[in-house]
Structure 1
């Protein structure tokens, strides 16, 4: 992210923060979105959708990066904010504005549906506006393709009720809140479209309640009140969008030619949704020749048309006994508690109800699976980070356990191409995350080691060889999966100066900061006792775990002194502490100046990796791994006729030393650090910088 200047916060949600950003040396502005790592599956889906759809009313996507705690998306900057903010300011819009805005939204949604994509979370906060008031549809974290739904249903039929139960209740169609089986469809998106148009005209969604039970009951059984001041055409469009039976809801051909738009809008053929029809049959529908569903679920071929005739409801409506409002509330409440949501969002008055803070509240109705999905199986190393802000600001660092791969730059060339290939491979392997597991007797079991692998027999070698978790870039220094974390303790009494906290150091003026660092320099560089120097280094290491401080310290004379001392001392404990401090600085720094390569840091760490002490080799290999990963991600690129000489040089001996560590005679922890270094580099499509004698 050091290729961008980050400015003020322009948006914030439960799991994300959006900043205004500018690419360096340009006047191009972007929306830089920081998302909690727990949302990784949804971000992968959003990236996949944004890659596949290019439309003037769909938000532009440029790049994405991954760190230990967060995912970062570089998106089109929408200076107009979102529709939710606009409605909170103006409360409602005139019908002429709704007409113009609605056509843009309709165009974006139709583009999705014609490409076989269901949005699944259409609501005002996911609709943004550019400087000209043009609609930009975003928020594709819950979006699904018809092909994905079919694939997952064929491999695991129960997925219809295990994976589709997340959304914003105020905008969810009745069929999504009914019974044990639900399936997002084009029809459910049309319901949400009606909710948004209604909210623009009235100032709130058609059904609103602070009680989830009351809200779901109203959506299922009450009719929408349409204000009499709306035009006849607008009232008719809304009425048809709000048909509770999806097979009677207005279809795309009628939407695009509806009189409210005053002209016929371009229509593209909509793919068939066979799985949706199966779900409707399971909920009590039977095949007939009714016209309502055909316009939306038109078969692609005539043969399919004979097989998937339109469905009409038995007795005029779905079986109401399928609805289980209390069950949905209990599941949603349980998921809120498991997510660590403030209990102010959970009703204390009724154990079976959930309090909704706003119409934009998103809930998860997914019942807990017996097996943990692959993306959730291994939590982030940084979950215990001491950072006070769960959504990291790139100007404030990434917390103690954050990774360093934000050094990736969105530029052309081999590095960017390699990253893109890595992303594409990860997205294409997402099907593996949804595989089910059964015991030997055919019954579901709770133990992950009692898995039936029969479902793997039909998979090809590519699916078996690659998995989305292969591309996770994890930290090297401080990685608790490699080595138990060791806290370097220090004693304030032993320090020959008054210690300050990290925050206090960052608030010092330039003169005071230089004076403070000079004292640390003299303490560590002096010939005082080993214990006194170790204590000072342990204290100093705590100041390095923030990107702002790391950027200052690594580009100061302190690093040059640490490198010199690392090469010169023969005391194993001092070598260990120097390697620890150097590695921590490299890990958290987002900018390393041109003077650092001149310090001989690569040679010094390479020599320490060959040290007799096992602990010294471990810390040195971790630090060297962090540095090599940084070198690979920072390979110089040609920019508009300007070619710079590479600042880094990786000697042959360094590469040879790393590969020699892979022999059986080496300490397993040091080997693990070496392998993790190679894994991180290759996972981003790098490795060119590791060819002997190259930069």
Structure 2
């Protein structure tokens, strides 16, 4: 049985406490109920009814335990609160939400009834919400199998346990009181004494639906007798939520309630009629033929079910049921019945070894601050339920990430050790240990054929045996003269050269040669021969690919161990023999690993491990230390039984001593590598090092410049964390985390990958370290390596490894963010509206609010932003902004709890994070409705802030967001009209923002800029808002803004106000009289003159772009004014012609008001040669309208400069329409004022020359029109 870690208390009843908990060694969070043993009957009843149920609308039972004082029930953790809390906080829910919640209730209750279970006490406190918004039935304490007498069952449990289990005994006469639920939701027949039934559960369902809509149950009274009277004899009033402006219930909903709240159970809706009811809008249409009639289920249909003690762990076999789709026939086989003849058939688990202590549930040293979970037990409810009408509208059905969390845990373990961590190098002839002189043999002294390895590997059996026979006879020779010794040494040198070939080595070690070599090692009188024999044995073991069971490798190990032990002070001899011992040990271990089971014939004596441990100790020569460490490293790389021989209490500290005190890097790397591979078998080896030398000393070793050391150290930390060793200490150690983060700068891909993996394990167990990590630029490192993880030809495997580690870390952080935001919302919800938070609340605020910068870090990242900015995130962000509004307005005061600086930092970070989102329009458009419904309202409220910084910030956000939203609507052509008057956004602006605008527009810069920018966007796309600007009396304010900023024509404020005026005059329903009264003509004249001067200024081209845009807007305004005037004149003239009168005075007044515009004629003529096509076209159209309305009233119209401009444009424009327009303008000027014709005649040579050319070049019908106009002008001036 596994232990559980308990975090914070999330619920409490009279005899029950509910904790948030976690299975030790996993990241599976659960709800754990600790209840007094006097509740054994209720808990046992809950377990026996639900232990096999797996359904999305029923809280999943995992397991239960019994300790000396309590019963412990482990169930699914639901993070959305209870339905009772939702109703209490929201007071009522909209009908659409009631329908959505009702579908979950009906689905769950149908499944419960289909299993033959009656819930009996259906109250909103027993309905929990999973985080994504799924409703789940909880607390089956008073439920029962249909037809069963629950009183008998409780009595049976009580008698079996001998009374009260340490609580006050419960007399039999009080047993009925324990079984009584709340009468508020109890059906009339049950109150009268009838047994609970499917029909009575459906009555309770009706009460829940009624209460969700109206905020109160259908029957309620402070007096118990009056309540009973109401339920039995009175009809409920039609449900009506508080507030007369709220919508009334639909006829379908009233019909549903009427059917469920029938006092006669026979007349009450049954399951088929309930599922087909029109209120559900065909949500249950697929169950038409499968629904269960309340009369169809009877106790006679259920069969016996005996519950096994060894039930499967639901955490390992977590399967969802298929809602209500399984028919009753399917459930009969699975569920049978819930009756127990003997209570001992169903028993809770106990502690290991039969102990009943309570240490199996450990209290966490760091309780998490979340209180967003609720598990109800005897009225114990606790929840975080946000804003609730809004929240429930946004709740969506989410995925169960339980399996993915387990999957992540297994993937993390797979990634701890990589191939590079387990790479093996030889012990013999390893140049990093000791340089070995090359081995040569004398061909003349070799008394056997000097076959090459190719020849040897191809020898036939007979030739091979002859060759072996010759070798063995020479080696076994007993001659002791110098010549024989030299010949034997020469032969052994030859063997050293051929033993490096895999096939030859495998054949030789399996032959009679190997036992002979062991014999020589024991008996040879010459130490040179012994050393060379040991070398041959080492080379054979190193290169052998297949070891047969009859090869006496154990004898070789025993003999090598004895010789080393007998000559332990002879360091040179140890350097000769240790490689042989090591290679043979590694051969045994690797071959055993390959064969996957222990071989009795390959037993390694304990003395071998003892000798090697002595060789590791302080005082030995460096080479001996290195060889012994290399042997440990290689053997522990395997998964064989023999690696266990090195796992002793001293191995870790001994290897650590070699690592810390050696001056040779190769030995240091080998020592730490050996420790790493031992840790793979037993993390306690690394634990012993930390306990001996101290955690900081081990952490500091990560700062070494040796990449391999860093890699092995990270691997050991990852291994230890995954096992939970030193977990609490490591995850709280800031120096450890910052050291890990510094390793992200490493040039090694593997080190960075492992650093990500170690940090992930820390963050899984301590969310607070995510803030420290973000502050240390974690997000930057993730982004950098995310770009590098595309595998190429080089370092493909290391890049893939990095990619896998990064993916897990990113996934975890994305999954954590909703919890972080939820904690912040929970802390703020607890103090909402309070001036003086309590000490507990202040502590929670100090713990949660500093985590807010994490949100900013993540939304700023292109890796995280697309994954975290979801509909749920934006909804929660809207809730957060509502809390910010409350803080800013002073309704909630955090200064006393966290200080003014922290409070201001929270507001700034919150607004900054959303500012980042506004810079990515795709995200806004993807969740447009959520932004409009939940984000914009609090932003509008913050515009009223007394703090100038927040007012400006929120106004800027509001302006940018709204501009994007409305422009996208038009571009996407979602509607025929861009924004209609019923639009939520429009209502928000109209009702909440525009009333503040006069104050905002008169504020110091840059506040008016963003306010005007918002109005520009809205008036451009919303005809309805144009009239709202007038109705809000903002027109005079706009002209006041122009006056105050007339010294800065190119400033942002002036640009915005001109753009707004452009939108207003362009709208056909605008009240132009109002604009004229405010001096529209005067301002436009002045602005056009100043802007045109900037545009035409040859020397200064730096402001040309700004001046260009501003000039176009002003020309557009002028054009609209002239079009409006021309239309008024035209309609008046038409009225006069038709004899219907017409307001000639109004037309004359309008002409008089616009008369100053004639002063712009010369300016417009000067703009005609512009290279900008738009400026030319607008200027020419304005000029045409002006001369049509006022003729040649402006005496400077045909000045020499203006005539030169006409000439230049006529010469450059080849378009006939443009030429005709210009000629008509000139004709109107010279024919309406004799002075102009005289000017043309006397000073307009260049223009006359162009006119003559146009008059003579007619070649088509269109050309003839141009030529005719030119000719008429010439004739007017006497040419």
Q: Please state which band the TM-score falls in when normalised by the shorter chain.
A: 0.3 to 0.5
Task: With the length of structure 1 as denominator, give the TM-score of the two structures.
Answer: 0.40
Higher helix share: 2
Q: Which has the higher contact order (CA 8 A, sep 6+)?
A: 1
